Structure formats: structure tokens, C-alpha cells
Amino acid sequence: MSDLIDRQAAIDALKNRWKKTRNYEGIGDDIAEECELYLKQVPSAQPEIIRCKDCIYQTESWSGIKYCEAHGDHIGKDYDYCSNARRRNNG
């Protein structure tokens, strides 16, 4: 299981650590900048949450009841979400 961390907090922690150990010709600053560059390239661990109202599986019956084709059940609220959600292309 992975931990979710604050990217900026990790960057700040590394910068502070390297600044404390700065040595000949400010090499610590160079290392801190390189660490920041690499951390900014790491993809987010937080998945995108797609609400039912934005999902391709949401349909509406002739009587106006919203229905989820992925689960075969009605949808409680537009702001609900699930792991099967796929974002609609038309917004």
C-alpha cells in the first residue's frame, strides 16, 4: 500500500535538509534543485474522482430516474462516485 503525501511538503523537506548540509561551493543547493525537478515529475497517487453526473454510465429512464449501466442500479445522488466511472467526453 502506498502513502499519499503532499508533494510540496516533500520538496520543502528535501530543500531544508540539503541546505543544512550545504558544503563546498553551495553544492547542497544544486542537489535540492535536482530533487525538486524529479519530485515534480512523479505522477500523482491521488486518483481522479469522477462523479456520477459526469460519468458515461449514467442514463436516465423515461420517468426521469437516473440509472447506472455499470452497476445495473439507480443512482442516489449526482455527486456519488465509484471505481467503475469513466468521464464523459462531452463535459
2 domain-assigned: no
Q: What is the predicted pLDDT for the residue at 54?
A: 92
Pairing of strands 73-74, 66-68: antiparallel
Residues 25, 54, single domain; the answer is: no
**Exposed, middle or buried by CB within 10 Å (0-12, 13-18, 19+), for 55?**
buried
3-state secondary structure of 11: helix
Percentage of residues in the chain having pLDDT higher than 90: 5
Domain that holds residue 68: 47-91
Residues 86, 61, single domain; the answer is: yes
* pTM of the entire predicted model: 0.51
Residues 29, 64, single domain; the answer is: no
**Exposed, middle or buried by CB within 10 Å (0-12, 13-18, 19+), for 72?**
exposed
Band (pLDDT 50/70/90 cuts) for residue 24 is low
1 domain-assigned: no
d(CA 71, CA 65): 15
